[in-house]
Amino acid sequence: ALISLRQLLDHAAEHGYGVPAFNVNNLEQMRAIMEAADETDSPVIVQASAGARKYAGAPFLRHLILAAVEEFPHIPVVMHQDHGTSPAVCQRSLQLGFSSVMMDGSLMEDGKTPSSYEYNVDVTRRAVEMAHACGASVEGELGCLGSLETGMAGEEDGVGAEGKLSHDQLLTDPEEAADFVKQTQVDALAIACGTSHGAYKFTRPPTGDILAIDRIKEIHARIPDTHLVMHGSSSVPQEWLKVINEFGGEIPETYGVPVEQICEGIKHGVRKVNIDTDLRLASTGAVRRFLAQNPAEFDPRKFLKATTQAMKDICLARYESFGTAGNA
Ligand code: G3H
Ligand code: 13P
Ligand code: NA
Ligand code: ZN
């Protein structure tokens, strides 16, 4: 059944688990996510980005998610819009039947320029008014997502601040977060705590303090009823980088957020964990390997099946690690 983000994350908070929010663009991702959720008895958050709408088209995405709900009626599914750049974008998603939207007012509508605090409060409050009127939830964002190591927002073609960010911008301020929630009434808040979008988060193997866990604790203590969201939470599996490069790929050395660090965050109020890059890497590795090992094969279903299995393995691992399993 389709449920709101608030409904799911209230349950997650009560039982102390986190929920991976996977980006979807196509049938194979959707199947991988649902089959893994089915096998582990996990609730699901699927999210559609602006890039996904451009790739698949809003009606196809919507029906893909609704098809998942129809085939797996026993699994709670949140249909979430990722990184909305204006209240108008959120409004269109709500009209399409999304049960949750992200109003990312931390950046201007161009998705690049950091906004003022007042602007963020204004657009987020407007999105909340619309969403709550139709029983949907809103995720806001405060602070600039960026790697604590490199100071960069990430290599995604979607959203992210331009140029090098200051240490101040890279960490959400707990007092500001409290005021933001009071003024906007958001259900969930994406915080800046050292992660960045895309595959190029860290240049060296990350150590224990790669995320600002203390900052997460401080924010959670200040806004205990607002569910925290960690964007840029891909772990960039080294084994998939190896497969990609072994079969013709050229991806330079790079590292993501270790799963154990995300689990530390979950202990301190992180409930929604955004993952896109890991499924992209697994999918690309699987298709490269399959085609290299089966050069005479030309039925796309064969290599797409391999990508589905590779993505499903990542989903299974995250549902288990984050404690999502058993909570559907
Ligand atoms: O927010 C970033 C997500 O990874 C979505 O990326 O806009 O390329 O679909 P995308
Ligand atoms: P990754 O690029 O780390 O997978 O993050 C995805 C994300 O935050 C989508 O909003
Ligand atoms: Na931001
Ligand atoms: Zn994001």
Domain boundaries, the chain: 5-321
Residue 97 has what pLDDT? 96
Indicate whether residue 82 lines ligand 2 (CB < 6 A): yes
Q: 82 an active-site residue?
A: yes
Reply yes or no on whether the pLDDT at 158 is more than 80: no
Give residue-wise pLDDT tens across range 110-137.
988 999 999 999 999 999 999 999 999 9
Indicate whether residue 49 lines ligand 1 (CB < 6 A): yes
What is the pTM assigned to this prediction? 0.97
Give residue-wise pLDDT tens across range 220-239.
999 999 999 999 999 999 99
Residue 126 has what pLDDT? 98
Q: Read out DSSP for 127-178?
A: HHHHHHHTT-EEEEEES----TTT---BS-SSS---SPPPTTTTB--HHHHH
Q: Probe ligand 1: pick from 103, 197, 229, 231, max atoms within 8 Å of CB?
A: 197
Q: Nearest residue CA, atom 4 of ligand 1?
A: 276
Q: What residue spans of 16-153 are helical by DSSP H?
A: 27-40, 50-56, 58-71, 87-96, 117-133
Task: Summarize the confidence of residues 286-314 as an average pLDDT.
Answer: 98
Q: Which ipTM score applies to this complex?
A: 0.94
Query: If we measure between CA atoms, which residue out of 16, 46, 26 comes closest to residue 34?
Result: 46
Residue 82 CA, closest ligand 2 atom number: 10
Quote the CA–CA distance of 196 and 204 in Å, as a whole number: 15
Quote the CA–CA distance of 124 and 189 in Å, as a whole number: 11
Give residue-wise pLDDT tens across range 57-80.
999 999 999 999 999 999 999 999
CATH class as words, domain 5-321: alpha beta
